Amino acid sequence: MSERFIPIVDRRANPVPPIPADAGPATGNLADVRGRRVRDLRISITDRCNFRCTYCMPKTVFGRNYPFLQRQELLSFEEIVRIARVFVAHGVEKIRLTGGEPLLRRYVENLIEQLAAIPGLELTLTTNGSLLARKARDLKAAGLHRVTVSLDALDDATFQAMNDVGFPVGQVLAGIDAAAAAGLSPVKINMVVKRGTNESSILPMVRRFKGSGHILRFIEYMDVGSSNGWCLDEVLPSAEVVRMIDAEFPLEPIDPNYPGEVAERWRFRDGSGEIGVISSVTQAFCATCTRIRLSTEGKLYTCLFAESGHDLRTLLRSGASDADLSAAVAGIWRGRADRYSEIRAAATARPDAPTRRIEMSYIGG
Ligand code: SAM
Ligand code: SF4
Ligand code: SF4
């Protein structure tokens, strides 16, 4: 199959709002136009990955000659930490490192060490688990609190068809074990469910992880980006996933850990743990969305489905002070009105609907 080049790098940029001369200090109470606070910052630290999951980085697009970002285009660790500090002052309580595959970024432990030194922050990372068995202890020693590991099936045939690079399940399982042994727990395990591809793996995954202390979460296949050929028929609604599990292992709903938690939680009635479902397609949670995303080269996205981001890197590299950065970030969040999942049908039916959207591997999950 020939490669289609649809570079994921966002060459456009929304303006960074003008910085008022009298911008006061951050108060931790920044609210957007719908009254939502900023609480959760996701930082993509590389746009590269050693997998080619068909729903995220299909080989037909992300082939051998794909123009990934060059080193000088990436935010440096120092730049990332500066931005992180500004966000924490504005109320961010949790930072998740993601990508691409974040464990491919060289010296990621050094970045973790610097972020972990910021007081009052929960620091987590999402990984495909391929390098976790080797790195779990160093990540923990650097100050990482928890990891989320993506795993879409327990049998090699299904998993390898989905990661599309022949990566075996056993090595991801070894990574999960190493993470738990290192104390990066509870380990969360994310399974993207695609109807017709891996729904037969749902119950085997439950049987494997029930009672392990890990938290298995089922994610509806989403229409992120424009390269995965998404169609609604391939979405298995979370309600069906819950029904399927409940028939073998009775479940009961439990309260969220905190307001705005994205995963809906269910507990096994026999007391052997819990699962979560993330229903991004069938049950929009925009009303409580407190997330913001920083791309690998320093663009800030106020929604996973944003068409373009705000270029903080240019601001950083033109000598902006921390106060300037803080005011810029505040202006961007205050102007945020995103609610794509609530209006998905109408948004995609519009004649002027964008034909190209930012890819998951670029913006981070
Ligand atoms: N490479 C790491 C990994 O796979 O965990 C981190 C980045 S990945 C983009 C983050 C998360 O997004 C993963 O759990 C992945 O399964 C999920 N993801 C990617 N594309 C998706 C899609 N189209 N729908 C739902 N989840 C998706
Ligand atoms: Fe890579 Fe993660 Fe995307 Fe899979 S989901 S291709 S592991 S970035
Ligand atoms: Fe948040 Fe955008 Fe997702 Fe809605 S669609 S939950 S605003 S990221």
Q: Which ligand is nearest to the CA of 218?
A: 1
CA of residue 105 to ligand 1 center, whole Å: 17
Residue 101 in contact with ligand 1 by CB distance below 6 A: yes
- The rounded distance, in Å, linking the Cα atoms of 213 and 225 is 33
Percent of the chain with pLDDT over 90: 76
Ligand nearest to the CA of 221: 1
pLDDT tens per residue, range 199-215: 999 999 999 999 999 99
CA 358–ligand 1 middle distance (angstroms): 13
- Give me the residue spans of the domains in the chain: 40-363
Its pTM stands at 0.93
The predicted model gives 118-143 an average pLDDT of 97
Residues having CB closer than 6 A to ligand 2 are 49, 51-53, 56-57, 99-101, 128, 150, 361
Note the helical H segments in the chain. 77-89, 108-116, 132-142, 156-163, 169-182, 202-209, 238-248, 312-317, 322-334, 344-349, 360-363
Span 70-100, pLDDT tens digits = 999 999 999 999 999 999 999 999 999 999 9
CB 197 less than 6 A from any atom of ligand 1: no
The string of pLDDT tens digits covering residues 239-270 is 999 999 999 999 999 999 887 788 999 999 99
Task: Look at residue 3 and tell me whether its pLDDT is greater than 50.
Answer: no
What is the position in ligand 1's atom list of the atom closest to the CA of 191?
16
Backbone angles phi and psi of 217, in degrees to 5: -130, 135
40-363: CATH topology is TIM Barrel (3.20.20)
131, 174, 297 from 137: Cα distances, Å: 12, 13, 28
Distance CA 153, CA 261 (A): 25
Residue-wise DSSP of 190-222: EEEEBTTTTGGGHHHHHHHHTTSS-EEEEEE--
Query: Is residue 201 in contact with ligand 1, taking CB distance under 6 Å?
Result: no
